[in-house]
Chain A
Amino acid sequence: GAVVSQHPSRVICKSGTSVKIECRSLDFQATTMFWYRQFPKQSLMLMATSNEGSKATYEQGVEKDKFLINHASLTLSTLTVTSAHPEDSSFYICSARDLGDIGGYTFGSGTRLTVV
């Protein structure tokens, strides 16, 4: 089945630095990928929709300049948390749709970001 690889799985960074998270579709092409944020014991909150070759679409309340999304190829989307602060600490998950499977979305394994 479709596989989405997300790296790193865990990252600790200092406040003020930037962190890049990668989301790769391994065996299919994904024109659209989604980035979610999940707080402990809560549901997934959509942050943005990443579109290959064009600008990402951000949900209301999500800072575009803080959460930079790049979808440069059909198999890779990246989320960069810029000038990270402790409040950015969270679990980030990406997902992608296999165009060959209508309704089939696969999630990455997530990234635990801790900003100290």
Chain B
Amino acid sequence: AQTVTQSQPEMSVQEAETVTLSCTYDTSESDYYLFWYKQPPSRQMILVIRQEAYKQQNATENRFSVNFQKAAKSFSLKISDSQLGDAAMYFCAYYLWGNQFYFGTGTSLTVIP
């Protein structure tokens, strides 16, 4: 079964600084999707960024970027110029087409003013 591991239960970052959240996964598949979701106190799951495994280029969305290392099965999220609104729980997720999402246990990010 696929597993997703987030080894950092909690992280903190100074406002305007950069932080990297780690995620590793286990799979024998070659074509899949990876996601980072943000869950603020409202509990709404918000898509931050996604990566198709067949794409070598790392995905980028404004201040959010990923470092996708397919061979190492690693998918880290970098948040640049951190803002107070970035404070939330972040979940890494693996998705295989036609299958289900597998979520990591989450990383709670605190942004220090």
Q: Which residues of A contact B (CB under 8 A)?
A: 34, 38, 41-44, 46, 49, 91, 93, 95, 103-107, 109-110, 112
Contacts and interface: CB of A to CB of B under 8 A. Distances in A.
Interface of B: 33, 35, 37, 42-47, 50, 52, 89, 91, 95, 97, 100-101, 103-106, 108
Most B CB atoms within 10 A — which of A34, A43, A46, A109?
Answer: A43
A66 to B, nearest CB: 20
A38 B91 CA distance: 12
Contact of B50 (A38, A49, A103, A112): A103
Most A CB atoms within 10 A — which of B43, B45, B100, B105?
Answer: B45
A107 to B, nearest CB: 4
B52 A109 contact: no
Contacts of A110: 43-45
A37 to B, nearest CB: 12
A79 to B, nearest CB: 16
B44 A109 contact: yes
A106 B35 CA distance: 12
Contacts of B50: 103-104
Contacts of B97: 103
Contact of B43 (A42, A43, A91, A106): A91
B45 A107 contact: yes
Contacts of B45: 44, 93, 95, 107, 110
A107 B44 contact: yes
